[in-house]
């Protein structure tokens, strides 16, 4: 019995290529459980791809325009000049 190979769209292919190219960065210095979760996740993604409206739980979602956008993914950490409390601090009226 043979398993059908999923045909990936452009975004799916670029995400898979990004993962494969950056695998060392995505795995090094992380706990083995994180590494295992990432490996299982990419294998699931390779098999199933991104959700589509053909899947019942996603039937009313509009993905086409989102999948056509150009995405940029980073593997290097960003040096922030503000503390977390400065970024996420908010005032709640009445408190």
Query: What's the pTM?
Result: 0.65
pLDDT at 6: 76
Average pLDDT over residues 62-91: 76
pLDDT at 21: 92
Burial class (CB in 10 A: 0-12, 13-18, 19+), 85: exposed
pLDDT at 58: 81
pLDDT at 47: 92
Catalogue the E-assigned strands of 1-95.
Answer: none
For 6-53, write each residue's pLDDT tens digit: 788 888 888 999 999 999 988 887 889 989 999 999 999 999 888 888
């Amino acid at each position: 019995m043979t398993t059908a190979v999923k045909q990936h769209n452009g975004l799916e292919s670029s995400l898979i290529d990004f993962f494969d190219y950056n695998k060392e960065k995505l795995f090094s210095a992380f706990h083995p459980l994180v590494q295992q979760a990432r490996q299982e996740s990419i294998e699931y993604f390779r098999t199933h791809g991104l959700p589509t409206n053909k899947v019942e739980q996603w039937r009313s979602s509009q993905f086409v325009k989102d999948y056509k956008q150009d995405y940029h993914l980073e593997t290097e950490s960003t040096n922030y000049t503000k503390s977390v409390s400065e970024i996420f601090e908010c005032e709640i009226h009445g408190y």
